Chain A
């Protein structure tokens, strides 16, 4: 849960601020990596699941 809290803070702590914006794929990877979330599952551009930025799937 500590890891999930850090993820929630990274993602949403500025969401009510004017400058807030959704993380882009490269930023997402950096955030995940900082929290130890690595590998294809956490790669928004991975095509290991038939998707990825270069395929049908797209990043959050």
Chain B
């Protein structure tokens, strides 16, 4: 398997296993590559919009649906705590993991905390509404804001 694909799987595998972002050294150790090679691959994955990196060019801010930094959208599953980039990604985490999870978030109108159980078949019944502010054509103008 191509090194870039193995690196991508290593990144996603790390997020799935422990809920936090891997470092360049973590990825390098997992795929048996040198750190400069991994940095180059991170840049390519960023160009493909598979990842969003911090300003340092190597810390993973987003590997959607996972967030590399704490957010208001926390997801717990299998004893692991994850952070999602948005409400959509909060459901994306159990979808990617293919296992049940609980989403802990908040209502953006009332700021009340929300908790939602998600099974293999989807979220429990609720009257919540997902509000997407930015049109699709502009998402990547500022993906962190989106």
Least CB distance from A50 to B in Å reads 8
Q: Are A49 and B138 in contact (CB under 8 A)?
A: yes
Q: Are B137 and A47 in contact (CB under 8 A)?
A: yes
Q: Are B88 and A51 in contact (CB under 8 A)?
A: no
Q: Which residue of B lies closest to A32 (CB)?
A: B136
Q: How far is the CA of A56 from the CA of B143 in the complex (A)?
A: 14
Least CB distance from B64 to A in Å reads 7
Contacts of A49 in B (CB 8 A): 135, 137-138
Q: How far is the CA of A44 from the CA of B141 in the complex (A)?
A: 12
Q: Are A57 and B140 in contact (CB under 8 A)?
A: yes
User: CB of B1 within 8 A of chain A?
Assistant: yes
Q: Which of B65, B87, B96, B141 contacts A4 (CB 8 A)?
A: B87
Q: Which residue of A lies closest to B124 (CB)?
A: A1
Q: Quick one: CB contact mask for B91-120 with A, threshold 8 Å, 1 for yes?
A: 111111110000000000000000010100
Contacts of A56 in B (CB 8 A): 141
Contacts of B141 in A (CB 8 A): 51, 56-58
Least CB distance from A11 to B in Å reads 6
Q: How far is the CA of A28 from the CA of B65 in the complex (A)?
A: 16
Q: Which residue of A lies closest to B127 (CB)?
A: A1
User: CB of B44 within 8 A of chain A?
Assistant: no
Least CB distance from A9 to B in Å reads 5
Least CB distance from B141 to A in Å reads 6
Q: Which of B1, B65, B98, B137 contacts A18 (CB 8 A)?
A: B1
Q: Which of A15, A28, A57 contacts B138 (CB 8 A)?
A: A57
Q: Are B137 and A46 in contact (CB under 8 A)?
A: yes
Give the top 3 A-B pairs by smallest Cβ distance, nearest first: A8-B91, A12-B92, A5-B122
